[in-house]
Structure 1
């Protein structure tokens, strides 16, 4: 389940097998449905997200509505 994430991570900063196991202990997969929010305005972000399939869109609405 974490292979793609760890592969990308290892390209930037190679890890030992022991380090990989430590990191895996902190990973939790999360699936979002279409039109489901990962984070909404005013929410405090406490996590890092890594998209393995699909796409996420980020947008904001200005005070004047645009």
Structure 2
């Protein structure tokens, strides 16, 4: 395969809204225990995707979720 035809992959997306976050990162961001993140993801309260046995979260979705919750309070 010719490298000039390959699509570049963005590996450093730490400041973008589409950043993929782990359970640990979401727990740190929300300042809650990881068990709370697992529970909210499992019951569908927190926007998440399960890849194999690992949960992943989009930073944009977590921000929107927090914004929506703050408006409802």
TM-score (norm 2): 0.24
Higher helix share: 2
TM-score (norm 1): 0.26
Which structure carries more relative contact order (alpha carbon 8 Å, separation 6+)?
1
